[in-house]
Amino acid sequence: MTTTLMKPKIDYAFKEIMMNEKARVGFLSAILNLNPLDIKQTQILNTNLRKIHENDKQGILDVRVLMNNNTEIDIEIQLSPLTVWADRSLFYLSKMYTEQIQSGQNYKVFKKCVSISILDFKLFQDTEEFYSRFHILEDTRHTLYTDKMEFHVLELPKLPKELKEDANDRLLWAKFISAESKEEFDMLASKNEYINSAYEQLQVISQDKQKQMEYTARQKAILDYNQGMLEAEQRGRQEGRQEGIQALILDNLEEGVSKQRIIEKLQKRFLLTIEQAEQCFNQLK
C-alpha cells in the first residue's frame, strides 16, 4: 500500500469513517454495549464544524447520530488537553437536550441524549481505566435520577500497549482510533468485522485526493491552533515571570535592601545569571 493512511483520531477522518453505516453501527454498539443487530437504523444528523464560543478558533467537528429508538448521540474527538472538557461536554449535551422541545409541547417529547468523548489526553487522574461512563445518580443509594443524559469518555493515552486475546470490542475500537500503522490496522481489522469495514472506509478515503486535501487542511488547522495556544501560554508565563521580578526588586528597594542582596535574590528565585539579574535591576532602577 503506497497511500498514506489518514489517522482516525483526526476528527475529519473519523467523521468520514462514520459515513460508513456498518462501521457506525459497530462503533456505537461497542461503546454503548449494545447488540449490533438491535441497531436497526442510524442517521447522521450533521457533519459541519460548530463553535460554542466566538473565540473558539479551532471549532469542533462532531458527528451527530440519531438511533432508531430516537436516542441522539454526539461524538467528539479532542486531541489537545482541555481541563474543562467535562463542563464543555455538559454544556453542549444540555443544549442538545433542550433544543428538542418547542413552544406548546410538553416534557414527554424529550429523548435520550448521549455524549461520546474521545480524548487524546488524560482527563481523570483517579483511574487508569481508559473508559468511563456517567449517569445522573443519587449520591448514596446510586438511584438513577434520569436516563435521559449519558456521558461516555475514552482516554486514548490510557490504552494498554498490548492486547489480550479476550479484548472486548470497545477496547478494539479505541485501539483502532489511536492506531497509525498499517500493521496495527490489519491486526485490528482481523479481530472485528465492523472494524474491518471502518478500515476499508479509511483506505478508500485515504486514496481520495480531495478528501486528502481536506484532511491535511484540517490537520494543519488543529496543529496551528495547538501551537497558538502553546505560544499564548508561554507568553503568559513570561509576563508573569517579568511581573514577579519587578515586584521583588521594588519591594526590596522600598525596604532598603542593598543592590547586591537584591541581585542575589533574583539569581536564586528566578534562576538568573548575575548578568541577567543586574540587567533586570538596572532596567527597573
Q: Are 187 and 254 part of one and the same domain?
A: no
**Residue 220 counted as domain residue:** no
Residue 99: strand pairing partners: none
**Residue 162 counted as domain residue:** yes
117 pLDDT above the threshold of 90: yes
Distance CA 37, CA 253 (A): 77
**Residue 226 counted as domain residue:** no
Where do the DSSP E strands lie in 138-267?
A: 144-155
Q: Are 167 and 267 part of one and the same domain?
A: no
Q: Are 68 and 202 part of one and the same domain?
A: yes
Q: Are 193 and 275 part of one and the same domain?
A: no
- Phi, psi (5° rounding) for residue 93? -65, -35
**Residue 213 counted as domain residue:** no
**Residue 36 counted as domain residue:** yes
258 pLDDT above the threshold of 70: yes
Helix (H) or strand (E) holding 117, with range, is: strand 113-119
Q: Are 90 and 49 part of one and the same domain?
A: yes
Confidence of residue 1 (pLDDT cuts 50, 70, 90): very low
Percent of the chain with pLDDT strictly greater than 70: 88
Q: Are 169 and 32 part of one and the same domain?
A: yes
Between 150 and 244, where is the model more confident? Answer: 150
Q: Are 248 and 150 part of one and the same domain?
A: no
Q: Are 129 and 252 part of one and the same domain?
A: no
Between 53 and 142, where is the model more confident? Answer: 142
Q: Which residues contact residue 31 at a Cβ distance below 8 angstroms, ignoring those fewer than 6 apart?
A: 116, 152, 154, 170, 173
- How many structural domains is the chain composed of? 2
Look at residues 192, 207, 222 and tell me which one is the last residue of a structural domain.
Answer: 207
**Residue 98 counted as domain residue:** yes
Distance CA 35, CA 56 (A): 37
Look at residues 157, 188, 207 and tell me which one is the last residue of a structural domain.
Answer: 207
**Residue 5 counted as domain residue:** no
Q: Are 185 and 252 part of one and the same domain?
A: no
101 pLDDT above the threshold of 90: no
Residue-level pLDDT at 3:
61
**Residue 222 counted as domain residue:** no
Task: Give the pLDDT confidence of 19-69 residue by residue, as tens digits.
Answer: 999 999 999 999 999 999 889 889 888 655 555 544 444 555 688 898 888
Q: Are 83 and 202 part of one and the same domain?
A: yes
Q: Are 203 and 247 part of one and the same domain?
A: no
For residue 78, give its domain range.
11-207
Q: Are 190 and 263 part of one and the same domain?
A: no
Lowest model confidence (mean pLDDT) among 163-172, 205-214, 221-230, 247-256: 221-230
Highest mean pLDDT among 196-205, 227-236, 246-255: 196-205
